[in-house]
């Protein structure tokens, strides 16, 4: 049992998901179980909220709000893509932690965010400030290393599969032939999301879409793509293509970028892979193509979220608090599955430095020889992640989502200079 006593701080970072608030709810709920945690604070907009001393008292929120976080998309605390770089920024973080006696810090995010958490922890250690830092995994991209999968992934692919299955009903109904229907989904460095759409195929229904899946793990060439489409259209009345936004050519360059901009981590801002494929189909094959692009709606689709995913996200939040109270630090919570035939998810821990900046790609042996479909190994991996439906409360015909009341913690420091 920990002898460290003080306040805890929870932050959310990076792109929101359908279940990052479930992790927040899990962390808050567990924090209230431990007397060594005196106050339960949240920082608004990730590390930016620490720098700005924008802290709120999460224990003051109503219980019904915390319960509703379990089905609320977005990120209730707000997130940021701000990267701590300047030594003065790191110093400021420690100043704010000291000023508010923050001794437990939980940060939900992807690999960049875990890197940030690791750096904060390392500075605290250097300065002899007793602090326990635990990361909570979060990314629809499912590309964090060491964890079996990431909270947020199951829900995004459940929504995509639902939609692919519905689009299939629509396409099958139309009398027209040779329609190419393209679904563009997210996924910057890895094709996990596009691959997940393969679960929409019913077992023993080989004609079900998606017919072709393009992943960044398999170098893309227009020639192969056009052959693939023509091969499918010999067999089917329409061809449904799922493509991840981060498609790469054989030289490792993105085949389509919507603009030359990069975000503050230096990542190219992508988009347009669907329109790029559409252009190929229309100009080279003279066929009609349509593109559906769900944008951020796919990662926010809480109304179609996976219960397994939401529950695991909640447990990941709980596990982070428990680990810190048990004396762990500099770790990220992992979701692990047992070896049993039936899926069971347990939590584990791995050093933050192992997670920071690593990228997990889909094993090549899970992709069929044709490069455009997934095999049973992938299905066995992904199917448990979409099980169960989150019951969202509806009022007046629409889902009701929670907002925090944001009870501000009084500032005690001067404003930070950026």
Residue tagged 């110093």 (tokens): 91
Minimal distance, residue 189 CB to its own copies, in Å: 19
232 contacts its own copies (rule: CB under 8 A): no
Q: Which residues are catalytic?
A: 141
Whichever of 181 and 347 has its CB closer to its own copies, that residue is: 181
Three-state DSSP class for 167? Answer: helix
Alpha-helix residue ranges (DSSP H) falling in 266-392 = 273-280, 307-325, 352-355, 376-382
Taking the least distance from each CB to its own copies, the nearer of 52 and 121 is 52
Q: Report the site for its own copies in 66-105 (rule: CB under 8 A).
A: 72-82
Helix (H) or strand (E) run with residue 95 in it: helix 87-99
Shortest reach from residue 12's CB to its own copies, in Å: 7
1 binds its own copies (CB under 8 A): no
Which parts of 342-401 interact with its own copies (CB under 8 A)? Answer: 383, 386-389, 394, 396-399, 401
Cα–Cα distances in Å, from 40 out to 56, 60, 271?
9, 9, 39
Q: How far is the CB of 240 from its own copies (least distance, A)?
A: 11
Distance of alpha carbon 290 from alpha carbon 274, whole angstroms: 9
d(C-alpha 141, C-alpha 191), whole Å: 8
**How many chain residues interact with its own copies (CB under 8 A)?**
67
267 near its own copies, judged by CB under 8 A = no
296 binds its own copies (CB under 8 A): yes
* Interacting positions 300-339 with its own copies (CB under 8 A): 300-304, 306
Q: b or e along 355-385 (b: 16 or more beta carbons within 10 Å of the residue's beta carbon)?
A: bbeeebebeeebbeeebbbbeeebbebbbbb
> Using CA atoms, how far apart are residues 47 and 258, in angstroms rounded to an integer?
29
State the nearest-atom distance from the C-beta of 251 to its own copies, in Å: 27
Contacting its own copies within 118-157 (CB under 8 A): none
CB 6 within 8 A of CB 325: no
DSSP line for 192-235? HHHHHGGGGSPTT-TTPSP-EEE-TTS---HHHHHHHHHHHHHH
181 touching its own copies, by CB under 8 A: yes
Strands 6-12 and 132-137: unpaired
- The residue (of 240 and 367) whose beta carbon lies closer to its own copies is 240
Residue nearer to its own copies on the CB measure, 35 or 396: 396
Contact residues for its own copies (CB under 8 A)?
Answer: 12, 15-16, 45-46, 48, 72-82, 158, 161-163, 165-176, 181, 199-200, 259, 261, 271, 282, 288, 290-297, 299-304, 306, 383, 386-389, 394, 396-399, 401
């Amino acid at each position: 049992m920990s002898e460290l006593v003080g306040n805890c701080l929870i932050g959310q970072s990076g792109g929101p998901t359908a279940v990052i608030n479930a992790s927040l709810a899990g962390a808050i709920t567990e924090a209230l179980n431990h007397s060594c945690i005196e106050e339960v604070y949240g920082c608004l907009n990730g590390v930016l909220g620490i720098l700005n001393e924008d802290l709120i008292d999460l224990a003051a929120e109503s219980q019904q709000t915390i319960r509703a976080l379990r089905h609320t998309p977005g990120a209730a605390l707000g997130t940021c893509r701000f990267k701590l770089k300047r030594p003065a920024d790191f110093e400021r973080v420690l100043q704010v932690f000291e000023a508010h006696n923050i001794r437990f810090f939980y940060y939900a995010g992807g690999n960049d965010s875990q890197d940030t958490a690791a750096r904060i922890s390392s500075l605290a250690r250097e300065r002899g400030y007793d602090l326990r830092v635990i990361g909570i995994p979060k990314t629809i991209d499912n590309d964090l290393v060491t964890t079996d999968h990431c909270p947020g992934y199951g829900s995004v692919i459940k929504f995509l599969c639902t939609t692919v299955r519905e689009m299939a009903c629509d396409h099958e109904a139309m009398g027209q032939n040779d329609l190419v229907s393209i679904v563009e989904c997210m996924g910057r460095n890895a094709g996990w999301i596009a691959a997940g759409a393969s679960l929409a195929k019913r077992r023993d229904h080989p004609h079900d879409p998606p017919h072709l899946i393009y992943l960044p793990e398999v170098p893309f060439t227009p020639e192969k793509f056009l052959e693939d489409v023509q091969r499918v259209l010999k067999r089917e009345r329409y061809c449904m293509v799922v493509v991840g936004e981060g498609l790469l050519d054989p030289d490792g360059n993105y085949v389509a970028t919507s603009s030359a901009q990069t975000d503050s981590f230096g990542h190219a801002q992508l988009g347009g892979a669907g329109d790029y494929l559409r252009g190929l189909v229309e100009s080279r094959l003279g066929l009609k193509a349509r593109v559906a692009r769900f944008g951020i709606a796919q990662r926010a689709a809480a109304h179609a979220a996976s219960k397994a995913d939401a529950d695991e996200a909640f447990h990941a939040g709980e596990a982070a608090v428990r680990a810190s109270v048990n004396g762990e630090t500099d770790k990220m919570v992992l979701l692990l599955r047992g070896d049993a035939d039936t899926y069971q998810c347990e939590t584990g821990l791995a050093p933050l430095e192992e997670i920071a900046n690593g990228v997990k790609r889909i094993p090549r042996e899970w992709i069929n020889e044709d490069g455009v479909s997934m095999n049973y190994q992938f299905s066995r991996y992904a199917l448990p992640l979409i099980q169960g439906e989150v019951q969202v409360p509806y009022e007046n015909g629409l889902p009701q989502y929670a907002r925090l009341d944001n009870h501000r913690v009084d500032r005690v420091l001067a404003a930070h200079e950026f």
